[in-house]
Amino acid sequence: MDKVRKICTGNSKGISAIEVIIALAILGIVAVAFLGGLATALNATSIADERSVAQSLAQSQMEYVKNCEYQAGASPSYEQADVPSPDHPGYTISVDAPP
């Protein structure tokens, strides 16, 4: 028991090189894990942003169609139309209504 107490409370006056190396290794492992998680979070944020824009564009087009007046005798089919989105540059809205 005295040997254990002497080792734990010994007369060490500083930090040995091996303790510093072990501490740096642990810190490095934690930093790598943190950076990996950060990269994954950034990727997930980018995907969520793209899906949010797509959902917003689809919702606005559905609301536009719902607000149009019904025209009796009009052709039941429409040609495909590609419209650039003014609110979201880089996106286009493609509408296709098959008969």
pLDDT band at 14 (very low <50, low <70, confident <90, very high): low
What is the average pLDDT across 58-77?
Answer: 76
- pTM here? 0.54
Predicted pLDDT of residue 30:
96
C-alpha torsion 20→25→27→30, nearest 10: -160
DSSP H or E segment with residue 89: none
pLDDT tens-digit series, residues 27-67 = 999 999 999 999 999 999 999 998 998 888 888 878 877 77
